[in-house]
Amino acid sequence: MKKVVRNMLIIIIVLIISSAIYITWDNQRIKVVEQTVEINELSSELEGFSILQITDLHEKTFGSNQEKLIESINGLDYDAIVFTGDMLNGSDSKNFEPFYTLIEGIENKDFAFYVPGNADPEKLLY
């Protein structure tokens, strides 16, 4: 019986450690997903228009001065960029630096839009 309990504890510990490693890795990666949206009777001027959406960063940093995320974004071809909220950890947070560093490093921001999420203050002054 002791051997069964010991083996179960080992399995549980291995699962917890494996889960922690996966969650840490998953939270550090940048995920780019392409999706095509078909719109009937779309103006021909908007045919092929692409929008890059950045969301739910929660003050996360990707490398020194956001270099990994900036490099990934600057390597994409898009017509507009939209930040759809939760750039901060909460509405009381004042840690704007990761988001501002990201914005400063993005090359194509001629058409950039921001929509606050539930974890952001109503306005991000920039």
**Angstrom distances, CA of residue 51 to CA of 2, 54, 83, 103, 111:** 59, 10, 10, 16, 10
List the chain pLDDT tens, one digit each, 126 residues.
Answer: 788 899 999 999 999 999 999 988 887 788 888 999 888 988 989 989 999 999 989 898 998 999 999 999 999 999 999 999 888 888 788 888 999 999 999 999 999 998 888 877 665 554
**What pLDDT score was predicted for residue 89?**
86
Q: How far apart are CA 99 and CA 106, in angstroms?
A: 11
Q: What is the pLDDT of residue 123?
A: 59
pLDDT at residue 81, rounded to an integer: 97
CA angle 82, 84, 86 (to 5 degrees): 140
Rounded to two decimals, what is the model's pTM?
Answer: 0.75
Token pair for 95: 């840690």
Which pLDDT belongs to residue 31?
86
